Amino acid sequence: MSDSKNKGKAPERREDDNDSSSNSVPSSGGATKKLSAKMLESLMESNPALKNELASMDKETAAKTLANMDVSQLLTGLSLGSTKNQKDMASYKFWQTQPVPRFDDRATQAAAPQGPIKMIDPEKVSKTPDALLEGFEWCTLDLTNENELRELYELLNNHYVEDDNAMFRFAYSQSFLHWALMSPGWKKEWHVGVRATKSRKLVASICGVPTELRVRGDRIKVTEINFLCIHKKLRSKRLAPVLIKEITRRCYLEGIYQAIYTAGIILPTPVSSCRYYHRALDWLKLYEVGFSPLPHGSTKARQISKNHLPSTTATPGLRPMESKDIDAVHDLLERYLLRFDMNQAFTREEIDHWLVYKPQAGKEQVVWAYVVEDPDTHKITDFVSFYNLESTVIDNPKHGVVRAAYLYYYASETAFTEDKSALKSRLQMLMNDALICARQAKFDVFNALTSHDNPLFLEQLKFGAGDGQLHFYLFNYRTAAIAGGINDKNLPDEKKMGGVGVVML
Ligand SMILES: CC(C)(COP(=O)(O)OP(=O)(O)OC[C@H]1O[C@@H](n2cnc3c(N)ncnc32)[C@H](O)[C@@H]1OP(=O)(O)O)[C@@H](O)C(=O)NCCC(=O)NCCS
């Protein structure tokens, strides 16, 4: 499921059991020529996204494409799309006009100072939006109004991010949208919509919420941009740039001149790139919906037993987070996040909003957070959280949705001990418990990026490499590239940690 070409946040179908990805495989481009037919067949079986992409090409193009690819990347499960969609700077007709770094800035970046790319004069910011296509008009969504929340939900449910093969589409619940878009300090003006003038139908959206980031010691007020979506019938009409310019204008009017956003596609220019990893909780269901392949030489029974989890958690003192834990979690998380080059600076109010689940009749749970309370000192030593993001399974006779838990923020006091291996073993235990909790909450898959300290546990806890990347972007802000937890073979690497300490929904 996903969007490696679009948003990259949802998983592409995962690579499972990449037994073939041994280091002995040549890693230079063109090495596929040396693969035997049997190896190629096995490669295709373990990389269904690639298989589908190649199936749509004629034989000769497919052979040429394969020959030009880096076999080490193929074996780690990336689809062609994760590398193919970068254009020349000159072809980004819109983005080349915006205050974002150019691709070639990378070379000179070391010399360029970190900070805003363009100084904005608030006096010169237009007080009115640009004109829209004939027959459409701007609107500001009132998400406290159930009907308008439902309209946004319906737009996204029918037109938001899908995987390349149109098998899965993100299905953000109304509770999720409420949580994501009405965080502390939220502004109605930043919930931007476009309506068809005659029918009043909502046909496009772009939203933002305010927060603060720390980027290598600088603290910046930013808007987190999300839910850029255009009705399928209105695509390729250059409406996206108009939406982006409009939310930019509305942010400038509020005195916010920087933004953070993510996408699965390459735009000028990612500040960091992470890779998706997926841990099957209900392997059989993931297989039945076409998300997880049956690895060559394995059986369904073997896969089920490989992904089996214990029924009880192992960390002494693990329990659901409550309001009384807010201060302790806030303190721990702030210290933990300061270890990363780019991280979110939370207020107490934000911790309450983002992490503490408050049951409400008729509203589904969006976030699950657990703390570890030391049984002797009663100090909070660790915490872990995940959120619920379902995906609609398009056209499957047996299953309508896949319930995915996404790893959210976490922290552990062991990060501050001298013993570097202590954090690794602690996180392995804590995250395995998170998997168990997610399984108990009936999730089918647990997704995580290579951000934060995740390379310390992804492979050990049987997460499989996904074929989607998530690129992070900063608008109107320049800083040197930030590590995304992956190496040049696109695999999790402990030496590449310490970069991304922010989670975007
Ligand atoms: C993403 C989406 C809004 C783009 O709309 P579109 O009709 O395909 O594109 P438009 O003709 O309006 O605009 C094209 C411009 O938008 C840019 N663009 C496309 N997707 C973008 C994205 N996700 N973020 C920022 N810019 C994007 C393109 O690069 C292009 O600009 P360029 O000339 O500088 O390269 C639309 O495809 C959509 O709703 N997709 C499903 C939801 C989705 O993927 N949302 C994005 C999540 S990050």
- The number of beta carbons lying within 10 Å of the beta carbon of residue 104 is 11
The string of pLDDT tens digits covering residues 168-187 is 999 999 999 999 999 999 99
The string of pLDDT tens digits covering residues 182-210 is 999 999 999 999 999 999 999 999 999 99
Please say whether the beta carbons of 469 and 275 come within 8 A.
yes
The string of pLDDT tens digits covering residues 343-371 is 999 999 999 999 999 998 889 999 999 99
What would the mean pLDDT of 41-49 be, rounded to a whole number?
Answer: 51
Q: What pLDDT does residue 165 have?
A: 81
Looking at ligand 1, which residue's alpha carbon is closest to its atom 22? 263
Task: Please report how many Cα atoms fall inside a 13 Å half-sphere around the Cα of residue 454, on the Cβ side.
Answer: 34
Residue 263 Cβ contacting ligand 1 at under 6 Å: yes
* Secondary structure (DSSP) of 99-166: SS--TTHHHHTTTSPSB-SS---GGGS-SSPPPPSTTEEEEE--TTSHHHHHHHHHHHHHHS-B-TTS
Which of 20-29, 119-128, 156-165, 485-494 is predicted least confidently?
20-29
Told to judge if 155 belongs to the known catalytic residues of this protein, a careful annotator would answer no
- Give the position, in ligand 1's atom list, of the atom nearest the Cα of 231: 39
- The CATH fold of domain 272-473+492-501: Aminopeptidase (3.40.630)
Looking at ligand 1, which residue's alpha carbon is closest to its atom 43? 161
Query: Ligand 1 centre from 263 Cα, in Å?
Result: 10
Task: Please report how many Cα atoms fall inside a 13 Å half-sphere around the Cα of residue 411, on the Cβ side.
Answer: 22
What would the mean pLDDT of 452-467 be, rounded to a whole number?
Answer: 96
Residue keyed to tokens 């949580």: 179
Residue 192 Cβ contacting ligand 1 at under 6 Å: no
Residue 90 Cβ contacting ligand 1 at under 6 Å: no
What is the pLDDT confidence band of residue 164, given thresholds at 50, 70 and 90?
confident
What is the pLDDT confidence band of residue 113, given thresholds at 50, 70 and 90?
confident
**Which amino acid, one-letter code, is at 179?**
W
- Give the position, in ligand 1's atom list, of the atom nearest the Cα of 97: 34
What would the mean pLDDT of 461-477 be, rounded to a whole number?
Answer: 95
Q: How far apart are CA 99 and CA 364, in angstroms?
A: 39
Q: How far apart are CA 329 and CA 405, in angstroms?
A: 21
What would the mean pLDDT of 32-40 be, rounded to a whole number?
Answer: 50
Residue keyed to tokens 């305010």: 210
Q: What pLDDT does residue 46 have?
A: 46
What is the pLDDT confidence band of residue 2, given thresholds at 50, 70 and 90?
very low
Q: How far apart are CA 75 and CA 42, in angstroms?
A: 10
Residue 393 Cβ contacting ligand 1 at under 6 Å: no
Structure tokens at 305: 């037993």
State the DSSP H helix or E strand holding residue 433, giving kind and residue range, or none if neither: helix 420-440
What would the mean pLDDT of 408-418 be, rounded to a whole number?
Answer: 97
- Give the position, in ligand 1's atom list, of the atom nearest the Cα of 6: 44
Q: What pLDDT does residue 454 have?
A: 98
Please say whether the beta carbons of 111 and 292 come within 8 A.
no
Please say whether the beta carbons of 135 and 198 come within 8 A.
yes
Q: How far apart are CA 276 and CA 286, in angstroms?
A: 16
- Give the position, in ligand 1's atom list, of the atom nearest the Cα of 264: 48
Q: How far apart are CA 429 and CA 419, in angstroms?
A: 16
Q: What is the DSSP letter of 498?
A: S
The string of pLDDT tens digits covering residues 265-311 is 999 999 999 999 999 999 999 999 999 999 999 999 999 999 999 99
Please say whether the beta carbons of 369 and 410 come within 8 A.
no
Distances (CA, A) of 418 to 413, 421, 422: 11, 9, 8
pTM of this prediction? 0.88
Pocket test for ligand 1, best of 100, 157, 235 (most atoms within 8 A of CB): 235
Write down the number of H helices and E strands in the chain.
14, 15
- Give the position, in ligand 1's atom list, of the atom nearest the Cα of 229: 39
Q: What is the DSSP letter of 281?
A: S
What is the pLDDT confidence band of residue 69, given thresholds at 50, 70 and 90?
low
Query: Ligand 1 centre from 130 Cα, in Å?
Result: 18
Residue 267 Cβ contacting ligand 1 at under 6 Å: yes
Q: What pLDDT does residue 162 have?
A: 87
Q: What is the mean pLDDT of the chain?
A: 87
Share of the chain above pLDDT 70, in %: 82
What is the pLDDT confidence band of residue 21, given thresholds at 50, 70 and 90?
very low
pLDDT at 31 over 80: no
Query: Ligand 1 centre from 240 Cα, in Å?
Result: 5
Q: What pLDDT does residue 73 have?
A: 46
Q: What pLDDT does residue 420 have?
A: 83
CATH number belonging to domain 95-263: 3.40.630.30
Pairing of strands 168-171, 380-393: antiparallel
Pocket test for ligand 1, best of 96, 132, 230 (most atoms within 8 A of CB): 230
The string of pLDDT tens digits covering residues 320-332 is 999 999 999 999 9
Q: What pLDDT does residue 269 have?
A: 95
pLDDT at 415 over 60: yes
The string of pLDDT tens digits covering residues 128-152 is 999 999 999 999 999 999 999 999 9
Residue 132 Cβ contacting ligand 1 at under 6 Å: no
Between residues 41 and 188, the one the model is more confident about: 188
Q: What pLDDT does residue 105 have?
A: 79
What is the pLDDT confidence band of residue 68, given thresholds at 50, 70 and 90?
low
State the DSSP H helix or E strand holding residue 349, giving kind and residue range, or none if neither: helix 348-355
Angle between helix 146-159 and 174-181 (nearest 10)? 110
The residues of the chain that CATH labels 3.40.630.30 are 95-263, 272-473+492-501
Q: How far apart are CA 438 and CA 89, in angstroms?
A: 42
